Structure 1
């Protein structure tokens, strides 16, 4: 059977690039599955039940969506949203929540046994040296870690899998240049997310505060959702379209930097803004004075200011485009009126000449 005869169910011929997209999409989903399998295994070992394996049922949606993409889009991902990454997060994040909650309960029990009001340095050292509560498991390369250490390792792998998986997935409508910039930004975002969760959850003053830990985990979970969106730093320039009048004005006004604006809003609302609020709360109300905490708080504040400045620049650029186009439209209208007036004058002169000739 020739390659031209191989067709998808929609009747569109399958090209070589379509097969590449299918292979890349399948490999990325297998990467998501491997990490989700590791998280489910650790969850089941910690709980002593098989509930963790039921979380893998969400991956059925991932492969079902992949079949739909093959049928309808020839392996290409959706334009603005990655359902596969969302299902992967839904399968993995509850496991990490459970590991952190179990570590919290262990710290609270140790604190009560030692007669301390909060989890201080002594309690943290007691957690490391106590052998009863240190459930260990041997996996790849003979690694033996506690539940809290497993939580940190799985969080690190989660961010690496998200970045590598986004790299492997078909890039869709964005260019290779835009994808490379997006991946570099993802690395910075992942480092900030990892620092926020690890350093915030391990502060001595919040080690046994369940409310603060749940808030930190909630903000951390919300920040991961930005990986499900396909937003680029700058929009790909489109070829100029030959349209006239107000249609051209509408085209220019609607296509100027819209993607950049959404990207800025997502970054501020889902990462830097919530991170800054949590860090300010820890500094002011929990009396946590840490050099790293202060540094990252100022960093989030500076990023918000710079993003707002960038948003202001983009909006001014959009207004400038509108003003310039209005001037061009007004100039064209004025030129058209002058031409019409000239034509009318010529018609009047021609009619007068015809009258004179008829009289002669």
Structure 2
């Protein structure tokens, strides 16, 4: 096992565990109940996954799916749900700045007397006191932001496995960066609206759709192609379309059914039924509409090109070219000296020149 692969695999999973524990700590601080520390037990699954990956896959990732990303999701998403649903942290108090200033003034003398010999410890205590007095919605927003950043950075640092290439990984990361802003606005900006926050059904619906959209991060389907097997023929149209344009179709499906489609439905309901209209909501609604329209246009273009290629190959088959779209043209003509040697040409059977399945 390469040292760099081992280092990246362990460091990435350690970052996932630390961030998940930070979110659980905030839940226990908000709820004032130690029982919420039980959420940290989910990280044991990540430890088990790490051991199995190091033993059986030598630290590298898997094809189509990333178990480490998925376990990180199920370890931190419940904590974010608890923070968003807590009724006492919906809006920031105007006393936050004064609390921070008062805490600093009250503890200044104590810190100087108790930690005068260790200035580093004094600065650490000041930082802890300041962070403890920060408004809780700011903490929740910070966890959302670092959550998305860690998903992208963690997917980048995790060792490549399966059949995914570095070029495909870069495409996947660019897709994640593009969707991160939409995901962040969907939870932070939308839930900050007072009419939305006071409606519990809307809050649950927004969090449910947001959780559903997170399932795109463990998947690598949008950049990996399915190879056409020898058994795939032009008669199996759907399988042939899937193996030819698998990455494009998965990308379209993720956009329509996981990302832009559900987000567009929720935002249209907010604007049309609940009369919630803000500048950012209108902008991202227009963005989702454009994304859905472009994905449908792309699907239509792929379908037309696919049927055109089938029609062309069907006509070529009648003219003696290869009969199967996935197979190369292996039909060879007799040598030119057949023009002078008719007996030699007559001895060549037709079955040897044309494959049996094309007859």
Q: TM-score, normalised by structure 2?
A: 0.74
3-state DSSP of counterpart to 2:320: helix
Deviations 1:155-208 (A, max 9, x none): 111001101000001222222222122212211111110011111101122221
Q: Does 1:146 align with 2:138?
A: no
Q: How does 1:236-247 map to 2 (within 5 A)?
A: none
Measure, in 2, the Cα distance between the counterparts of 1:306 and 1:196.
Answer: 21
Other structure's SS at 1:213 match: helix
Change (3 A) 1:319 1:68: farther
Indicate yes or no: 2:73 matched with 1:73.
Answer: no
Which runs of structure 2 are paired with 1:107-126 in the superposition (5 Å)? none
What are the superposed Cα offsets for residues 54-107 of structure 1, whole Å, 9 maximum, x if unpaired? 2222222112122222222222212111121121111111111111111x3565
Aligned to 2:269: 281
Which residue of the partner structure matches residue 94 of structure 2? 129
Match of 1:195 among 185, 197, 202: 185
- 1:289-300 aligned at under 5 Å gives the runs 289-300=277-288
> Which of residues 244, 262, 265 is equivalent to 1:256?
244
1:129 partner SS = coil
User: Which blocks of at least 5 consecutive residues in structure 2 are unaligned?
Assistant: 104-124, 323-329, 348-359
CA distance in 1, matches of 2:296, 2:24: 41
Evaluate the alpha carbon distance shift between residue 158 and residue 215 of structure 1 in structure 2; reply closer, same or farther with a 3 A threshold.
same
Q: How far is the alpha carbon of 1:333 from its aligned partner?
A: 6.7
Q: Contact 1:43–1:99 at 8 Å: present in 2 too? A: yes
**Matching residue of 1:51:** 35
Which residue is 2:116 aligned to? none
| Cα distance per residue 1:16-68 (max 9 Å; x no partner) | 4xx43332221110110110011111111112222332222222211212222
Structure 1: tracts of 5 or more residues without a match: 1-13, 108-123, 351-360
Moved more, 36-45 or 314-323: 314-323
What is the alpha-carbon distance in structure 2 between the residues aligned to residue 349 and residue 203 of structure 1?
A: 85
Q: Is the 8 A contact 2:164 2:224 kept in 1?
A: no
CA distance in structure 2 between the aligned counterparts of 1:292 and 1:245, rounded to whole angstroms: 47
Contact 1:231 1:263 in 2 (8 A): yes
Q: Is the 8 A contact 1:253 1:321 kept in 2?
A: no
Moved more, 226-235 or 295-304: 226-235
Q: How does 1:1-360 map to 2 (within 5 A)?
A: 14=1, 16=2, 19-102=3-86, 104-105=87-88, 128-129=93-94, 142-143=130-131, 144-172=133-161, 173-233=163-223, 235=225, 255-332=243-320
Q: Is the 8 A contact 2:242 2:249 kept in 1?
A: no
SS in 1 for 2:220: coil
- SS of the equivalent of 1:75 reads coil
Distance 1:62 1:324 in 2: 51
C-alpha spacing 1:93/1:330, structure 2 compared with 1 (3 Å): same
> For residues 170 and 210 of structure 1, do their structure 2 counterparts lie closer, same or farther at Cα, with a shift above 3 Å needed?
same
Q: How many residues get paired?
A: 307
Q: What's the secondary structure of 1:148's corresponding residue?
A: helix
- How far apart, in 1, do the equivalents of 2:345 and 2:264 lie? 74
Change in 2 beyond 3 A, CA 1:70/1:336: closer
Shift of 1:234: 6.8
Q: TM-score, normalised by structure 1?
A: 0.74
For the structure 1 residues 138 and 201, does the alpha-carbon distance in structure 2 shift closer, same or farther, using more than 3 Å as the test? Answer: farther
